[in-house]
């Protein structure tokens, strides 16, 4: 008899089928098979269980799975290894029913390779009901928050019926609004720096370097006006310059750990210009498999939804072999580095995002990848290889310079710093990108201090002459420069995700979706790749602050995330956690409904962009499609999104407002004009 493996996507199924023998049949669920309908809350408030229905159009898919399972000797559920994947496995097992349930086994794997699959098949397990319980709790809490709080917005803001609140969505909006408030109230303060271009008097080459005014009478300079700066310049006109002290040392710069979901999204944003949705789409393609020279699809990277930096020992050894061959043993640490995951909620059973086979170098497989796929794979490969290499070592020097002014007791101390790369270490692989990441923290050589260096007070020279205490120096020029303190910067999409991760909000599988929801709801907009709240976003946030503070409370949301983790680890009971949440939450919402209705105000409307917005009314469940998130085939810039139109569901381009009119019918349930119903629909919130 055959053995059946059930996974989530058709592409993943095709990759796995090409790696196993003829006795294996591989089928895909094409995502979830069950969902909570959107027409009502569908939560039993006695035991907090959700009402799940078969997704429209999945009946045929389920029948196909049942038929294949009935003919199979064993059924392996190989859905993703996170909580959502565990829940899908449980739903499939329930719907396959008896006697098929008796031959179901659960398998998980971090990478789609023959070795990983064989290892998974050799050690199947039962479905982890703790993870399923945690996922159920998350879905129910999200539904309760969305369906109970959204009416507060409807009552408080009239004119729009598409408003919604969410467990993580609302705190994320608050972060964007708070940052904007800080920017608006920010009052710039003027300050001045003074730099001196110097050289060693006895040096025949007159090698020049820059030093910055560091102390005045032993204290940090406070030059607030041009007059303050000019007074110092006047004092220094006749000064004698001399080396007071030289401190030489070394600086060790350790490599970055391999990627997690959020760090990959942030690096891809800053270095490649990819938004989180595109990054995850490309990463999914690399994970599920790409056809290489032999014509079969091969998984190139490990599982992409992870908050762990752990690396399998065999992967470390493979990386060490690659490093030895391409860079030499000098770049190899004595022992493989061990990276500790700082996030206490991380699932250590997961690995970091890394190349499945480090010997598949980016250049070696470039011809088989699209340009964006190649860019992302190269970023992941370089980060992983670099993480297994020795640190970089710099020779550093700090020189304090005194000024001697005849007839003056005022002491002006200047400081010059320099560093020279002695050993490249991991920078041999990750140099350009590492420099780009570190540039936010430390300035390299320049003629004047940047606005963000007020605390550091010095600039760094790429090279310095050989100086010793007592050396006389020659002044070439004094350079005063006016600065103004800068307001905080708006978040990029990736930076907002980083903030959510740091605060313990959301999980790797939800980061990108949270940001997209804020944009789809017109709560935030993007300008020059940075997020800012729209007038509607401000109104929604302010209304929640006044009436449902709990929903935007970062600490409350983070605590709820921890409770979900405790359920997953078997440390808490789902019903207990739900009961402790629901009672106080309901009281807050009941009071909020009355308060919001009393101050009802018009909602800020978004600018008109097109005429195909979904009409107000009951939201419909859209058929799933593997094409969602793919690059638009017409404009090549937007991504495909599922929408509900007058005549049924369809795929459209995210750049509709910019003029792209690509559409494609979605699923088999789309209605024609003659089938259109006039049934009155009810508005519903969205999580």
How many domains is the chain partitioned into structurally? 5
Question: Do 559 and 575 belong together in one domain?
Answer: yes
CATH number reported for the structural domain that contains residue 422 in this entry: 2.70.20.10
Identify whether 568 is part of a domain.
yes
Question: Do 250 and 396 belong together in one domain?
Answer: yes
Cβ atoms within 10 Å, residue 250: 11
Angle subtended at Cα 43 by Cα 586 and Cα 550, rounded to the nearest 5 degrees:
30
CATH number reported for the structural domain that contains residue 119 in this entry: 3.40.50.140
Which residues on neighbouring strands pair with residue 482, listed in sequence order? Answer: 192
Question: Do 500 and 531 belong together in one domain?
Answer: yes
pLDDT in tens, 476-501: 999 999 999 999 999 999 999 999 99
Tokens describing residue 637: 């810039």
CB distance 433 to 264 below 8 Å: no
Catalytic: which of 256, 287, 303, 377?
303
* In 236-385, beta strands by DSSP E: 240-253, 290-291, 297-298
pLDDT, average across residues 511-528: 92
pLDDT in tens, 231-278: 999 999 889 999 999 999 999 999 999 999 999 999 999 999 999 999
Q: Which residue, of 359, 387, 415, is where some domain finishes? A: 387
Which residues on neighbouring strands pair with residue 418, listed in sequence order? Answer: 397, 461
Of 30-34, 268-272, 417-421, 619-623, minimum mean pLDDT range: 619-623
Tokens describing residue 584: 């106080």
Identify whether 462 is part of a domain.
yes
Tokens describing residue 563: 């409770």
Of 246, 243, 249, 248, the closest CA to residue 413 belongs to 243
The overall longest dimension of the chain from CA atoms, in Å, is 101
Question: Do 352 and 299 belong together in one domain?
Answer: yes
Question: Do 48 and 159 belong together in one domain?
Answer: no
DSSP structure string for 102-170: GGEEE---SS-SHHHHHHHHHS-B---HHHHHHHHHHHHHHHHHHHHHHHHHHHHEES-S-----TTHH
Which helix (H) or strand (E) segment holds residue 373: the answer is: helix 371-387
For tokens 């600018």, what's the residue? 607
Question: Do 374 and 282 belong together in one domain?
Answer: yes
Helices 169-185 and 554-568, packing angle to 10 deg: 150
pLDDT in tens, 62-121: 999 999 999 999 999 999 999 999 999 999 999 998 889 899 999 999 999 999 999 999
Of 55, 54, 37, the closest CA to residue 143 belongs to 37
CATH number reported for the structural domain that contains residue 361 in this entry: 1.10.290.10
pLDDT, average across residues 208-212: 97
Helices 574-598 and 554-568, packing angle to 10 deg: 160
Q: Is the pLDDT of residue 653 over 90?
A: no
Question: Do 178 and 271 belong together in one domain?
Answer: no
Identify whether 609 is part of a domain.
no
Question: Do 205 and 302 belong together in one domain?
Answer: no
Question: Do 447 and 529 belong together in one domain?
Answer: no
Tokens describing residue 260: 């997690």
Q: Which domain holds residue 228?
A: 190-254+392-484
Identify whether 410 is part of a domain.
yes
d(CA 286, CA 411): 61
> What's phi and psi for 76, nearest 5 deg?
-105, 125
Q: Which residue, of 105, 127, 149, is where some domain finishes? A: 127
Question: Do 399 and 512 belong together in one domain?
Answer: no
Q: Which has the higher per-residue pLDDT, 348 or 607?
A: 607
* In 368-456, beta strands by DSSP E: 392-404, 412-423
Q: Which residue, of 98, 127, 156, is where some domain finishes? A: 127
CATH number reported for the structural domain that contains residue 513 in this entry: 1.10.460.10
Question: Do 598 and 496 belong together in one domain?
Answer: yes
Q: CA distances (Å), 525 to each of 10, 515, 533, in order?
A: 34, 10, 6
Question: Do 516 and 471 belong together in one domain?
Answer: no
Q: Is the pLDDT of residue 638 over 90?
A: no
Identify whether 607 is part of a domain.
no
Residue 377 known to be catalytic: no
Identify whether 608 is part of a domain.
no
């Amino acid at each position: 008899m055959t053995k059946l493996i059930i996974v989530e996507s058709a592409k993943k199924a095709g990759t796995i089928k090409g790696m196993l023998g003829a006795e294996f049949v591989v089928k895909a669920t094409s995502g979830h098979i069950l969902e909570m309908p959107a027409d009502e809350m569908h939560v039993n408030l006695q035991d907090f269980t959700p009402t799940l229905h078969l997704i429209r159009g999945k009946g045929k898919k389920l029948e196909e799975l049942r038929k294949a399972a009935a003919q199979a000797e064993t059924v392996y559920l190989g859905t993703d290894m996170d909580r959502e994947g565990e829940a899908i496995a449980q739903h499939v097992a329930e719907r396959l029913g008896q006697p098929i349930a008796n031959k179901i086994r659960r398998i998980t794997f971090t990478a789609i390779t023959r070795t990983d699959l064989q290892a998974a098949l050799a050690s199947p397990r039962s479905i982890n009901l703790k993870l399923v319980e945690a996922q159920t709790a998350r879905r129910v809490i999200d539904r309760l928050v969305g369906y109970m709080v959204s009416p507060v917005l409807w009552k408080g803001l009239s004119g729009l019926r598409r408003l919604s609140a969410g467990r993580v969505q609302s705190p994320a909006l608050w972060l964007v609004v708070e940052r904007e408030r800080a920017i608006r109230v920010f009052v710039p303060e003027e300050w001045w720096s003074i730099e001196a271009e110097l050289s060693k008097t006895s040096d025949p080459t007159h090698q020049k370097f820059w030093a910055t005014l560091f102390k005045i009478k032993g204290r940090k300079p406070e030059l607030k006006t041009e007059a303050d700066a000019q007074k110092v310049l006047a004092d220094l006109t006749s000064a004698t310059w001399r080396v007071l002290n030289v401190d030489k040392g070394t600086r060790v710069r350790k490599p970055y750990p391999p990627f997690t979901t959020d760090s990959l999204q942030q690096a891809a944003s800053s270095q490649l210009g990819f938004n989180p949705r595109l990054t995850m789409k490309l990463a999914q393609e690399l994970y599920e498999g790409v056809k290489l020279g032999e014509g079969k699809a091969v998984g190139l990277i490990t599982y992409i939804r992870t908050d762990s930096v752990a690396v399998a020992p065999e992967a470390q050894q493979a990386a060490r072999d690659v490093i030895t061959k391409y860079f030499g043993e000098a770049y190899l640490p004595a022992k493989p580095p061990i990276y500790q995951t700082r996030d206490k909620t991380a699932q250590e059973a997961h690995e970091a995002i890394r190349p499945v086979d480090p010997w598949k170098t980016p250049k070696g497989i470039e011809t088989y990848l699209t340009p964006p796929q190649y860019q992302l794979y190269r970023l992941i490969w370089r980060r992983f290889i670099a993480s297994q290499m020795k640190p970089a070592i710099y020779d550093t020097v700090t020189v304090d310079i005194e000024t001697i002014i005849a007839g003056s007791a005022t002491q002006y101390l200047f400081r010059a710093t320099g560093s020279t790369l002695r050993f490249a270490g991991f920078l041999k692989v990750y140099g350009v990108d590492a420099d780009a990441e570190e540039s936010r923290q430390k300035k390299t050589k320049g003629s004047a201090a940047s606005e963000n260096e007020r605390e550091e007070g010095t600039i760094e020279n790429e090279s310095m002459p050989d100086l010793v205490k007592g050396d006389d120096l020659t002044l070439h020029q004094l350079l005063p420069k006016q600065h103004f303190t800068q307001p905080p910067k708006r978040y990029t999409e990736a930076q907002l995700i980083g903030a959510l991760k740091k605060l313990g909000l959301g999980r790797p599988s939800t980061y990108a979706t949270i940001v997209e929801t804020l944009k789809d709801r017109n709560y935030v907009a993007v300008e020059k790749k940075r997020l800012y709240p729209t007038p509607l976003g401000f109104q929604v946030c302010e209304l929640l602050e006044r009436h449902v503070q709990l929903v935007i409370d970062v600490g409350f949301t983070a605590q709820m995330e921890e409770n979900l983790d405790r359920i997953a680890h078997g440390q808490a009971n789902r019903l207990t956690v739900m009961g402790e949440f629901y009672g106080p939450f309901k009281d807050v919402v009941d009071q909020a409904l009355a308060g919001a209705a009393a101050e009802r105000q018009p909602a800020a409307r978004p600018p008109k962009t097109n005429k195909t917005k979904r009409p107000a009314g009951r939201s419909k469940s859209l058929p799933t499609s593997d094409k969602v998130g793919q690059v638009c085939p017409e404009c090549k810039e937007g991504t495909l999104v599922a929408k509900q139109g007058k005549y049924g569901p369809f795929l459209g381009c995210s750049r509709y407002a910019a003029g792209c009119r690509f559409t494609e019918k979605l699923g088999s349930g789309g209605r024609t004009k003659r089938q259109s119903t006039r049934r009155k629909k009810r508005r519903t919130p969205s999580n």
